[in-house]
Structure 1
Amino acid sequence: MFAAAHREFQVGVVFRAGLAAAKSWEHCGEVVQARQEQEKDAAIATTIAAVLAQLQQPKQGIAETAQPWIVEFGKHHPPGFKGTFDVQVAEDWITRLEKIFNILECPFERKAQMVIYKIEGEADRWWKNTELVLQANGTLITWEVFKDQFFLKYFPRSMTDEKEAKFLTIKQAMNKPFDKYLVRYIKLFRNSTYL
């Protein structure tokens, strides 16, 4: 009886020790999990601090390198564009800017920055909205992207179709000089998709 009681006592001790060990392991698991969460929180906090520090630093790269180009661009008195829905005015504006870019030998990546600097009024409001949509779609704003958007807005398809129809039906009048016919032909030619 004593042996049975002793064995029962030993089993109880072993059982309680096992239970304590299990609780200890459970506690260790909780400690490990808490430590992992703290490490993860610390990593997130470090990343956020680094991003905030980067955002608070003055933007040097683009702003500093763009400034000399904008100064040179300004010396050529580029016209502003206010959003006129006149195809000829819009086309002349783009043509004038491209001439300035050619004279300056302007790098491709600077053109859009300088043009955006020259849009005003209604055109500026249009561009701010367009730019937000492009950025939300992850589109890099280049000169070609700007021109595509500009032409969509200020060269409505109906107007382009109308000019193209005029081009396809142009004839030299008998009583008008060839020079005038040629000038009209060249203006309409630019809008033709057939050539």
Structure 2
Amino acid sequence: MAANRRRRNSGVDDIAEAIHRMVDAMQTLVAAQPRTTIAPVRVPTVEDFLRHKPVEFNDKVSPDEADAWLRKCEKIFKVMNCPDEQKLLFATYLLNDDAEYWWTGMQQQMQTRDEHVEWTSFRTWFLEKYFPDTARQDKEAEFLALQQGDMTVQEYMNKFEHLARFSSQNMTEEWRCLKFE
């Protein structure tokens, strides 16, 4: 009986020893792995946004200026990797005077209709108000009628690129080249 106990104890001791060796080996492997830390996702603040010097917006601007304002904001949002909620907060923070009153009224209308007040809806309503389809159509007509005239090649190219984005045409590279010529 004592011999059996010693054999059992010897077997238990062997198992315990094997487990300790495995744990030691695993700890050695873990210690050898490079340490990577995942930085927490930081939500941009209004101070971060304002460091980019965005321009405030009031409604006494041309459709071109409204479009340029929105594009500048979106450029900043992209650099800052802003989530949509922050885009809405930051853009509407820049609204002044009648533009601010317009947005307050628009939010109330949207809430009454149970629409989500979010960045994409702001963008849609903003463009409808300050860069309506008629302005876009005028830009497209200007593009289609564009000729170099007395502009330098560089001036013409800049005007061409600016107006081309308003075209509803499905522009192939070949069509763009022909139109440019």
Asked whether the two chains share a fold, i.e. TM above 0.5, the reply is: yes
Deviation per CA, 1:114-139: give whole Å up to 9, x if none. 11111010100111111111111111
Uncovered stretches (5+) of structure 1, i.e. residues with no partner: 1-64
Relative contact order (alpha carbons < 8 A, sep ≥ 6): 1 or 2 greater? 2
Match of 2:48 in 1: 72
* Alignment of 1:176 onto 2:165: no
**Higher Cα Rg, which structure:** 1
Q: Is the 8 A contact 2:64 2:131 kept in 1?
A: no
1:165, distance to aligned residue in structure 2 (A): 0.8
For residues 115 and 176 of structure 1, the distance between their equivalents in structure 2, rounded to whole angstroms, comes to 36
| Higher helix residue share | 1
Could you list the per-position Cα deviations for residues 12-71 of structure 1 after superposition, in whole angstroms to 9, with x for gaps in the alignment?
xxxxxxxxxxxxxxxxxxxxxxxxxxxxxxxxxxxxxxxxxxxxxxxxxxxxx97x5212
Q: TM-score, normalised by structure 1?
A: 0.61
1:89 and 2:79 aligned:
no
Residues 1-195 of structure 1: pairs in structure 2 closer than 5 A: 69-173=45-149, 175-195=150-170
How many residue pairs end up in the alignment?
129
Superposition deviation, residue 107 in structure 1: 1.3
Whole-angstrom CA distance in 2 between matches of 1:147 and 1:169? 29
Separation in 2 of the partners of 1:96 and 1:85? Answer: 15
Structure 1 distance, partners of 2:97, 2:134, is 24
Q: Which runs of 5+ in 2 are unaligned?
A: 1-41, 171-181
Question: Percent identical across equivalent pairs?
Answer: 29
How large is the Cα RMSD of the aligned pairs? 1.7
Please report how far the alpha carbon of residue 96 of structure 1 lies from its aligned counterpart in structure 2 after TM superposition: 1.3
Q: How many Å separate the matches in 2 of 1:184 and 1:92?
A: 15
Distance 2:108 2:151 in 1: 50
Which stretches of structure 1, 4 residues or more, deviate above 3 A after TM superposition?
none
- For residue 75 of structure 1, report the CA deviation from its aligned partner: 1.8
- Residue 142 of structure 1 deviates from its aligned partner by 1.8
Corresponding residue SS for 1:77: coil
